[in-house]
Structure 1
C-alpha cells in the first residue's frame, strides 16, 4: 500500500471511529467484521458479558426478522430495512439520559457484506409522540362536522376564564348557548345529510356574526344541535357592538345585542341541495358571576335561559337571572308531581258544552284535562300542559283523556239517547300528532268505547296544522278513520284565510281574542264574519270560543257563526256535573 493510500485508509478509520452514529459491518449471516465505538456503546447494554460477535444475535429479542430479511435476494446498495425503531429495555438504575429507542438502518453493500447504522432515536421518538399527542388533543377538542372547538374545549376555556376572573376582578365574561329549534324536523323530513349541511351553515353564521365583532370570542359546537360562544365583555367597550347597545358601558345591553344578532342570522333561510330550508334558534345568555365556580354550572344556567326562550316560543333569546333558576326549580318540582299524578290518577277530565247558535241545542262537548294536586289544589292547565309537552308526558296524558272522553260520550248516548251530545272534541298536541302510534291509539279508543268515528272530533292548533308534510300526512291518516278535525284558536297562528283551504280540517274555532272585543270593535266583527263566510264556502263549520255574554252570542249568530262555547253557556264541568247539566237542559226543553 502506498504512503498516500495508507494515509487515506487511516483517515477513513479515524472517521468511522469518531462518527456520531453507530456503524457495524457484518457478513450476510450477521458476523461482525467492524464496529465503531458509538455502535458498541449503543449495543453493549443488550448483551451479557460484552459478546458483540453477531449483530443478529444481539438484536434477536428486538428484531428477530432481521436474519430472514438479510437472506432476501437484493442488489448491492439496496436497503434491507430503513429507520427501524427498536425500543430498548430500561434497567431500573439506568440514567435519565440513557437511550430508550434505537434507530436501525441495514444496507446490502455487496454479495457478502452488510452495513448497519445505529443511532439514539429517543429524542426523535419523544418529539413524534408529543406531536401525536398534540394532534390527538386537538382532535378530541375539535368537532368533526363544523371544525369548531367541541364541548370539551369550551368547558376547558370557561374554566380558564373562571380562573382568570378570580385573579382579575375587571375580567367580565359571558356565554351564549344557541340551540336550533325543532331541528329534528329537518333530519326527519330532509334526511341527516341536509341536517348536517344546515349545522355547518349555522356554524359559519355564528362565527361571522360574533367573530367579526368580538376579538378572541370562542365559538364551539356544544351538542348535536347546539352551539356556544364564550366572549369577554370588558374588552368590548368602544366597539361597534357596544355602540349599538342601549348603553355603551352596559354589559347586559351588549349581550342582548349579540344574542339578537345571532337569532336574526340563524333565522334566515338555508340553501340545501337547491332547497330553501327554514330554521330558527333560541339563545340563552349567562354572564359569569362570582357564584359560578365550575364551567358546568355556567352552562347549566345558560341552558335554563335558553329553555326559557324556547318555552316562550323559540326564535328569541333569554337572559339568565336567579328568578329563572327559581322558576326552573318550581317547574322541575311540578314535573315530578305530574309524573306522580299520572301514576296516582290525580288527573281528571272536565267537559264544556258546544251549542248551536241557531237554536241553543247542545251539539257537542269538549273534553279538557284538570289536575287535582293533593297539596296545591286544582292546578290550572296552563301550569302543567307545557311541562307535559316538553317532557313527553303529554302522550300518555292525552291518551288517557281520549279514552275517558270516548267512554263518557258512549255513556251519555246510552243514558240520554238521541238527546246526548252528537260529538266529543279532544285536543291533540304536536307531540301526540308526531307519535307514530297515534292513529292506532285513536282507533283503539273508539273501538273500546263502541263509538263510531264520526262522533269524535280532534282539535289541533292552527300553528300545528300549518306545519310540515309529516304533520299533514298524520292528520290525513287520522281523518281516514272517519273522524273530523277542528282548527283550534284560529287567528293566533301562522295560517290565514287565504290558506285555509290547504288545511285538512272540518271545523274552524275562532279564538276568544276575537270574540271578546267583537261587541265594541267593528274590526273584530269584520274578521269574525270573514272567517265564517270563508269557512262556509269551504264546507267547514265555525265555533266561537270564549263566549261570555248573551250580547256576544247574538252578535255571533248574526255574523253567520255556527256554534259557540264559553262561560255564557257553562263552565267546564266534571262528568257527573255535566250529566246533571245535560239532564237539566233536557227537562227545560221538554217543559
Structure 2
C-alpha cells in the first residue's frame, strides 16, 4: 500500500472512529465484528451484563423481527432497512440516556452487514411537541371555514376580558351572528350548499374585517371572526376607542353580509341577526362562556324582532331568557300532556242592511291552560314555541282538532254551523317538506271538506321565495282556500297583490282601529277592498271593537268582519251557544 493509500485508509478509520453515529459491522445472524466508540456508548446501557456480542440480542424485544427481516432479504447486497425506530429501555437507566434509537441495515455481501444507529430521542420529542401543537391548533380551528372554532373563540375572548384596560375608552365587544332561515337553505338546496354558504359567509367576514385595517397587537386580539356553531359566527373586537365603534362595525358587517350570494347557479338574498355584548373595565372575572351566552341571547332578541338587525345585550334580556327557558320546558310538557286547547273567534258576514251573518266562519286559535300560571296567552308562548321547534307540532295539532270540531258542528247545527274554518300556518310549517301531504292526511282523517278550510299566512311570509309559493300552490291544488293575514304590515303592496296565490285579504287591525278617526286609514281600507274585489278576492276587517269602526268597514264594502264587537274567542261549547243565540248582533 503506498503512502497516499495508507493516509486515506487512516483518514477513513479516524472518521469511522470519531463519527457522531454508531457504526457496527456484524455477521448475518447479528454477531458484532467491529464497532466504533459511539456504538459502544449507545449499546452498553442496553446490554445485560455488558455483553455486546450480538446486536440483535442487545436490541431485545426486536431481535426476532430483525433476524426475520435480514433472512428475508434475498439480494446479495443493498439496503435492508433505514430509519427504523425502536423504543428502548436501559438496563441501568440514567439521566439523559437514549430512549429512542434509529437503525439502518446495509447488506455488504452474503455474510456481512453494516448497521448505523443514532439516538433520535430529542428528535422524536421535538416531533411530538410539534404534533401536539398542530393538534392543539387544529382543535381550535373550524375544518370547513378555517376560522377559529368555538374553543378558539372562547380562548381569545378570555384573553380580552382578562387584559388590564389602559384607559376608560379601551373597550372590546363580542358580536354573535346568526344567518336567518339557514334551515331553509339546507332544506331547499341540500347540506352541501349549506356548507358552501358557510364558507362564503366566512370569507365575507374575513374581507370586511381585513378592510378595517385594525390588526392584533402583542397582547390584543384586534378584529377576529370565528365559527362557533352550524350557522353561528362571532366577531371579537379589541382596543376599541369607544363602545359605539362596535355598533358601527356591526352595521357594516350586516350590510356586507346581506349582499346576495351566488350559490350553485342561484342568487340568494340572506339576512342576519346579531347580538352585541360590550366588554369594558371591571369584567376581568367574567366567564367567556357566559359572555357568549349573553351575546347569543341578544341575537335571539334581534331574530324575534324580525331579523336583519343587531341588538345590544342588557341584563334584563338574560332574566327574560331564563324565564323563557322555563316556559319552553313547560310548553314541551304541555304539548305532551294536552294542556293546549283550541278556541274559535267568529268571523261574521257584513251585509248592506246592517245585519250580520253569524255562520260565515270562525278562526281557530290556540290557548294554554298552565297548571300553575293559569291561562297563558299566545303572545307569551308562540315565540317560545318557534324558538324551541314546537310550533309545527302545535300548528298541526290545532289543525287536526279544529277540523274535527268543524265536522262535528255540521252534524249538530246543520245550516247554522260555520261555513268556513280559518287556521293559521306558521313559517316553520311552510318551510317543512311534506306539508301538503300532512294537511291532506288530516282532512282525510277528520272528514273535513278541503273547500271549507282556509289557511292563513302573514303578508311577510307570503311575499318570500319561490319555495313558499310552491307550498301555497300545492295547498290550493288540494282545494284549500288561502288568506293573507295582517295585510298592510309587511312587504307587499296593493300593486303586487295579484302576484300572491290568495283568495282572501285580511285587513290588519292597525288600520281598522283608526278607521273612524283617520281619513287616511279609511282611504287605505277603501283601496284595499277595491283592489281585492277586482282580483276576485274577498276581504275581512280584523280587530273591529266599536260600532263606529264597523260602520266604516261596512261602508267601504268589506265582506266580513272579526273582532270583540261581535265576540271574543270561544271554546267549542260557547261558540255553539253564540251561533244559536236568538238576538243577532247588528252592524250599523
TM-score, normalised to structure 2, is 0.89
Q: Which residue does 1:259 correspond to in 2?
A: 250
Distance 2:26 2:272 in 1: 72
Q: Which residue does 1:36 correspond to in 2?
A: 36
Is the aligned partner of 1:527 residue 2:513? no
Q: Which residue does 1:122 correspond to in 2?
A: 121
1:165, distance to aligned residue in structure 2 (A): 4.3
Is the CA contact (8 Å cut-off) linking 1:180 and 1:225 kept in structure 2?
yes
When structure 1 is superposed on structure 2, of 196-205 and 441-450 the one drifting more is 441-450
Distance 2:337 2:112 in 1: 90
Distance 1:386 1:400 in 2: 17
Is the CA contact (8 Å cut-off) linking 1:16 and 1:23 kept in structure 2?
yes
When structure 1 is superposed on structure 2, of 297-306 and 520-529 the one drifting more is 520-529
Is the aligned partner of 1:389 residue 2:386? yes
Is the CA contact (8 Å cut-off) linking 2:345 and 2:570 kept in structure 1?
yes
Distance 2:309 2:338 in 1: 37
Is the aligned partner of 1:26 residue 2:26? yes
Q: Which residue does 1:307 correspond to in 2?
A: 300
The alignment of Structure 1 onto Structure 2 pairs a total of residues equal to: 572
Distance 1:492 1:399 in 2: 26
Distance 1:329 1:588 in 2: 45
Is the aligned partner of 1:338 residue 2:317? no
Change (3 A) 1:335 1:199: same
Q: Which residue does 2:240 correspond to in 1?
A: 236
Is the CA contact (8 Å cut-off) linking 1:62 and 1:87 kept in structure 2?
no
Is the CA contact (8 Å cut-off) linking 2:45 and 2:90 kept in structure 1?
no
Structure 1 residues not aligned, in runs of 5+? 238-249
Distance 2:264 2:429 in 1: 31
What secondary structure does 1:494 align onto?
coil
Is the CA contact (8 Å cut-off) linking 1:419 and 1:586 kept in structure 2?
no
1:313, distance to aligned residue in structure 2 (A): 1.1
**1:105-133 deviation digits (Å, cap 9, x = unpaired):** 22234555432221111111111111222
Is the aligned partner of 1:354 residue 2:358? no
Change (3 A) 1:261 1:507: same
Distance 1:386 1:256 in 2: 26
Distance 2:59 2:341 in 1: 84
Is the CA contact (8 Å cut-off) linking 2:45 and 2:93 kept in structure 1?
no
Is the CA contact (8 Å cut-off) linking 1:164 and 1:171 kept in structure 2?
no
1:270, distance to aligned residue in structure 2 (A): 0.9
Change (3 A) 1:438 1:274: closer
Q: Tell which has more relative contact order, 1 or 2 (C-alpha 8 A, sep 6+).
A: 2
Q: Which residue does 1:204 correspond to in 2?
A: 203
1:445, distance to aligned residue in structure 2 (A): 4.1
Q: Which residue does 1:54 correspond to in 2?
A: 54
Q: Which residue does 1:246 correspond to in 2?
A: none
Change (3 A) 1:90 1:185: farther
1:436, distance to aligned residue in structure 2 (A): 4.5
Q: Which residue does 2:318 correspond to in 1?
A: 325
1:85, distance to aligned residue in structure 2 (A): 1.6
Distance 1:317 1:382 in 2: 22
TM-score, normalised to structure 1, is 0.89
Q: Which residue does 1:279 correspond to in 2?
A: 270
Q: Which residue does 1:426 correspond to in 2?
A: 423
What secondary structure does 1:584 align onto?
coil
1:222, distance to aligned residue in structure 2 (A): 0.7
What secondary structure does 2:485 align onto?
strand
Q: Which residue does 2:361 correspond to in 1?
A: 364
When structure 1 is superposed on structure 2, of 301-310 and 512-521 the one drifting more is 512-521
1:104, distance to aligned residue in structure 2 (A): 1.6
**1:40-82 deviation digits (Å, cap 9, x = unpaired):** 1212233323333333443362264433444534465x32222
What secondary structure does 2:406 align onto?
helix
Q: Which residue does 2:17 correspond to in 1?
A: 17
Is the CA contact (8 Å cut-off) linking 2:56 and 2:62 kept in structure 1?
no
Distance 1:34 1:24 in 2: 6
What secondary structure does 1:62 align onto?
helix
Is the CA contact (8 Å cut-off) linking 1:370 and 1:379 kept in structure 2?
yes
Distance 2:554 2:170 in 1: 66
What secondary structure does 2:86 align onto?
strand
Change (3 A) 1:451 1:21: closer
Is the CA contact (8 Å cut-off) linking 2:184 and 2:431 kept in structure 1?
no
Change (3 A) 1:6 1:396: closer
Structure 2 residues not aligned, in runs of 5+? 217-222
What secondary structure does 2:409 align onto?
helix
Q: Which residue does 2:219 correspond to in 1?
A: none
Is the CA contact (8 Å cut-off) linking 2:429 and 2:435 kept in structure 1?
yes
Change (3 A) 1:43 1:360: same
What secondary structure does 2:286 align onto?
coil
What secondary structure does 2:581 align onto?
helix
Distance 2:168 2:63 in 1: 60
**1:215-246 deviation digits (Å, cap 9, x = unpaired):** 222221111111112221xx332xxxxxxxxx
Alignment of 1:127-206 (within 5 A): 127-165=126-164, 172-206=171-205
Is the CA contact (8 Å cut-off) linking 1:151 and 1:223 kept in structure 2?
yes
Distance 1:219 1:321 in 2: 23
1:507, distance to aligned residue in structure 2 (A): 1.3
Change (3 A) 1:587 1:61: closer
1:281, distance to aligned residue in structure 2 (A): 1.2
When structure 1 is superposed on structure 2, of 480-489 and 33-42 the one drifting more is 480-489
Distance 1:258 1:271 in 2: 24
Change (3 A) 1:4 1:258: closer
1:39, distance to aligned residue in structure 2 (A): 0.6
Is the CA contact (8 Å cut-off) linking 1:372 and 1:379 kept in structure 2?
yes
Change (3 A) 1:440 1:120: same
Q: Which residue does 1:215 correspond to in 2?
A: 215
1:310, distance to aligned residue in structure 2 (A): 0.9
What CA RMSD, in Å, does the superposition of the two structures yield over aligned residues? 2.8
When structure 1 is superposed on structure 2, of 344-353 and 185-194 the one drifting more is 344-353
Change (3 A) 1:53 1:588: closer
